[in-house]
């Protein structure tokens, strides 16, 4: 698989179509896509690590809650995600370690301010070639 995500057209919002070989890969790639929408993720390096555990009712709910928690790290604590190591994942819970870097205006140019991760058109499913998710971000 060559690309881990693509931005899709969506009126007044940003849509993401994320790909992964398995659920852990999909959730890692969704975190990378979120960071890359906020700033150029190639300029984000791991300076510290934070444990992140999130629960949901099913895969779509877990994905929304996961990205909301990562968005909180940015909007509430000014931490950008550099990397994700998934320790455990199932449809009701993900336990991971996020490599983070505090926002530095001289290193990180903000591309978009994300207001929220929405349930609008959320889809997380296993296909013939791997896992896919469609996510809409409110900007």
pLDDT in tens, 47-64: 999 999 999 999 999 999
Q: Which residues pair with 98 in a beta bridge?
A: 50, 84
Under-70 pLDDT residues of the chain: 1-3, 9-12
**Rounded to the nearest 10 degrees, how much is the dihedral formed by the CA atoms of 9, 69, 101, 112?**
30
């Amino acid at each position: 698989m060559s690309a881990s995500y693509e931005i899709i057209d969506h009126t007044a919002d940003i849509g993401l179509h994320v790909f992964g070989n398995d659920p852990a890969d999909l959730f890692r790639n969704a975190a990378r896509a979120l960071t890359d929408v906020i700033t150029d993720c190639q300029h984000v390096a791991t300076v510290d690590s934070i444990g992140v555990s999130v629960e949901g009712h099913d895969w779509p709910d877990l994905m929304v809650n996961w990205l909301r928690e990562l968005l909180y790290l940015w909007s509430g604590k000014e931490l950008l995600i550099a990397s994700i190591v998934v320790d455990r994942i199932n449809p009701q819970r993900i336990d991971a370690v996020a490599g983070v870097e505090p926002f530095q205006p001289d290193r990180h140019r903000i591309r978009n301010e994300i207001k929220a991760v929405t349930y609008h058109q959320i889809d997380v499913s296993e296909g013939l070639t791997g896992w896919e998710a469609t996510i809409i971000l409110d900007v």
